[in-house]
Structure 1
């Protein structure tokens, strides 16, 4: 199969992108984008009206205003333009998954095996050009056997010529008359070749290769071979084509929530059928919405365990549908399973407590997708004496909440219970043999005993009771005689004060902070507090926690 490439040249990319970014038609007069350069502020890009007035990129802004007093100059954003070009390359994957950015103002599309899906090469170019026109981009297209040929044809072909080049050597009569910049040479090389009369691609093609390489180096010959299809040119796609992906285009753009939900449910059903055949479930899904204004919106969800139930996954998407902005409508949706895993079927109805385990997983999934993965987790102990740093919040995936060992037990021995109410896995007895089948009497191999892996017990070991709520940071209080405490502008009476419990800095780390003496106190109304004062400054008291 012959490989064919489409080159998209956005000839007014920075200025067109500026107009789109500001959601307006722009000024009526000439427009230029500026950047700080040598000698002052210089023009970075100009539109058609500015170019008609004699303005070019690189001109000083002061000189440009002298030539065109009505010029509107706005600061350029090269980083934003590059990011927008990447998004446009991802949008172009509606035609082929092999798309990439090509320089600061172009795209390259490998359409091998994809043109027939859009009515052939001419139909694909017509659809692509029409969509870019509606989006407000000034562009030119070129199609050839190699990326270099498509690049040169899109930028330097005659305006009345067909953008589609013939296949094979039939394109040479059209490529050889192109000017020398069509080989993608820099200005200095073009000027050196022009001084010896080489101004067309055909002029270089007629020269003996050895003298040309000896004088100008191998770069010119290499670029000529790439344009004529005599050597290959690698093209790295913007992103690898995902394995688990389904997409759906719409005859009319959709914008209502009901239509979006129906489309997502249909995509989930299509993906579930494919996953079921492979025996897999999804752990992370990404929904991509292609809007009519050539912009792309992404929406991602995650699951604690492999899942493929369309109704359950749709519930997770519903938590995020409010973030979708359809604009003038969504014309295509793409659903990608970013992460998958082997799917294990479960029957929870016959197991005591099994329904509660599945309900907990469903709750965790909803909380993670609504609040964010970094805000949902369970506490894990840390090796420190400081009460405020004694725990870390581990994420859902990091903490292993999806592991059945951390789900509520259905019966029997509960085993050690973590502070979050989830049980730890029971240790396996060292004498339990591994099943080896009916021929276990053979002298070798013998069944080896299964020993639990060495691991530190994940429990909190503290010397005294701890409060339910810690204040961060601790609040300054005044403790006066007889048994009175001033806190938040009020005077509280202390019934009793018990302590101290001394907590020192971690001896295995740098000794940061003073030693603290903690006391348990009870107010006259029955509330209990956790107070401390530093060992080196006994005049200052702090309230650190509230007890039950």
Structure 2
């Protein structure tokens, strides 16, 4: 009888696929605007004109991402917006959303687990997928990486990918190697990666600059040095991104590199499969009440409360009806949930009947039992602010129930922003103090005709909406300069005046421009607000 001896070499060699989304923020913005990959390939929409996504910094807005047209015009990421506008006056800007990009990358990591058992984030725009022992399911590593590139392109994402034995080698090839590069398991990484730049080691920018000043521009040049020389130079560095020796060992697989896999968390879900299809509203309300009670018990066991609920109803003919709710505060009160859904089911057409009803909570927040009891007691006495906001939102729509918060801008039309009614204001924003402002601002400043003694003097009378108003008292001016980092150089100054006419009514008007400023003709006058 022949005995089979066990061997440690039976395990397949480790294989890591690195995916780099080269324009993640721009691609996500393009997808949010509804631009299809076909239109993007033709240069329509987001790529038809220079566009940049900006983020606020202590020194003014900076470019977080730019499309190809903007980069061709000289507007590069990390550049100040004011400097970019001098190179590209036609640059259009939109606010960047770093948190939204990270959430999108997390969902993309879960989606990428179709190619391997686990995936990890490589912020801000990359993924690492463990594809060890699965390449044969796709017809080989070439077919595997080709499938990844095809599906990413189908989703409208510009990406590069690479396969290697280590995460560091795969990252280096994805960023600086050939498109869809593959490093075979038996290949020597020291030879195949020697021509890559030192930036392939995933080091900090200052460390890369230091290595280049020392004349080390390629990985092969670093390998030729003795470890003692590099260790002496970087012996006080603890971060991996600041230690070339540690990054080299991780690149060649001499040291392990810990990776944190992305684990999907399933949303709480309850459902009812009905023995007979239902068509009447009374029966549907009873099913919703049962599901709300089941969801309350499930969320209570998890210590969570629902912020968003989705009610799905499967009809006999295959059509799926979905009704969504988003609550101002976390809740799991069944009566409150049923009351909110009752207003969303009035226009429901059951057709030949509904045979499956499912309630899902895709957005939950921690909610202790004591908090839920207090909230229920407040609602029973009619004093729950969250319940009131939920009812108003269901009745009027999500965009009709918002509250203003102060924003760091001296321009009146930019001095506030809107947010959900019970959301906390930005913690980093200090209280803004301005001069006396009117209680009512017009939606848009309206042009007025003003008579004044001197070009820079106080107004004496003005005509607005066909009526002549004589000025009895006036105070000002309060000069507000344009935001130079956001506006173009041709934007004019504003001089605001608080005036009172002979009848006692008070107005807030401003002169747009100064005579001789070289930014247009004669100054124009506008009214922007009314005092109580």
Larger Rg: 1
**How does the TM-score come out when normalised to structure 2?**
0.48
